[in-house]
Structure 1
C-alpha cells in the first residue's frame, strides 16, 4: 500500500540529539526504522542487523533514525546492548508516527504464522535473539522509510513481523 504521508507533520520532530527530522532530511537521506516492541525477537535482530550494516547505510549519505515505543531512558539502555546508542532515535509511545506512516497492527498470521515461527526459531536458536519481556505494543507492525527534502523516496512495509528488509538496498535509492 503506497499512501501519501504528510511529511510536514513530522519535519519538526526532534530526535534524542535535538536535531529535527527535517534538518537531517535536507542534508541527505534519512532512514526511519520503525521498530517493534523491545521484547520482540525480530526487534532485537533488527538492532543487531543495523549495528552490522550501519557503515554501509551511512556510506549512502543516509542518516538512521530508530523509532521506538518506549521512554528514552529505557531505549538508550537497549541501544547500548546492541551498540547502536549513537544513532538518532525518537520515542513514540503513543504510536503517532507509526499511525501517520500507515503502519498497521498485525493480524494473527502476520505475527504467529508458520513462516514467522520458523524465522523466530532460527533467530532465537542460531542467532541468540531471545524473546524478552513485552515492552510496547506487540501487535504493532514495523517498517522502513527513506526520506529526503520532504519526500518519501522509498518504503518497506513488513508483511510479516519476521520480514528482513534489505537496509543497504533501501539506502541506495536515488534522490529523484
Structure 2
C-alpha cells in the first residue's frame, strides 16, 4: 500500500479517546488488529490470546489497538470480558478501514472448511469461549480479519488471514519486519 495512503488512513482512524492511530504510532509501535464479528469463535479467541500477550506487547514498546464493526459501547463489553479494560479501539461499522486495508469478505469455502470447524469447536466448546450468531450489533459475519504492525506511520509487518481460523504468531509479528 502506498505510504501516503497509509499515512492518510492512519490519521483518519480515531480511537474512542479521539487519538489518531498515526499519532499513537509516532510514540509507540502499534499492533492494529482488525477483528471479525464479536460472535465469532475466532474473534473471541483473539481477544483471549491477546489479553494474555498484552504484557509481552508492552515489553516490546507496542500499543495494541483493535478495529471492530460495532458501536464502542458494545465492543467495550467484550473487551472487559477478556480483561482488556481501557484498550484503545476504532469503531468501523461500515467496514471502510477493513476495505482500505484490503481485508476482503470470506467465501463460503473459507468459512465452512474442516480446519475452521475443528478449531471453532475447540475454541467454543473445549476452551469455553463460546460464540453467537452475528447480528447488526456484533458485525459482518463475512468480514475477514487481519493484523498490521505500524511504526511511525508505516506498515512494517502484517498478517492477512486466508480463513477465519488462521492463527497468527504474535511474537513473530512484533519481532520481524517485511
CA distance in 1, matches of 2:88, 2:107: 30
2:146 matched residue in structure 1: 143
Measured in 2, the distance between the counterparts of 1:173 and 1:12 equals 26
CA deviation vs aligned residue, 1:108-147 (integer Å, no higher than 9, x gap) = 1211111110111111221112111312100000000001
Q: Distance in 1 between matches of 2:9 and 2:151?
A: 14
CA distance in 2, matches of 1:164, 1:22: 26
Aligned length: 173
- SS state of the match for residue 104, structure 1? coil
1:157 aligns with 2:160: yes
User: Structure 1 166/106 Cα, relative in aligned 2: closer, same or farther at 3 Å?
Assistant: same
Aligned pairs for 1:109-124 (under 5 A) are: 109-124=109-124
**Distance of 1:110 and 1:4 partners within structure 2:** 28
TM-score, length basis structure 1: 0.93
1:90: Cα distance to partner?
A: 0.5
| d(CA) in 2 for partners of 1:121, 1:9 | 36
Q: List 4+ stretches of structure 1 deviating above 4 A.
A: none
TM-score relative to the length of structure 2? 0.92
After TM superposition, give the deviation of residue 173 of structure 1 in Å.
Answer: 2.8
Q: Which 5+ residue runs of structure 1 have no aligned equivalent?
A: none
Note the C-alpha offset of 1:11. Answer: 1.8
Q: CA deviation at 1:4?
A: 4.0
Deviation, 1:92, is 0.3
- Name the SS of the counterpart of 1:159 in structure 2: coil
- What's the secondary structure of 1:155's corresponding residue? strand
- How big is the shift at 1:18? 2.3
How large is the Cα RMSD of the aligned pairs?
A: 1.5
The answer to whether the 8 Å contact 2:10/2:153 transfers is: no
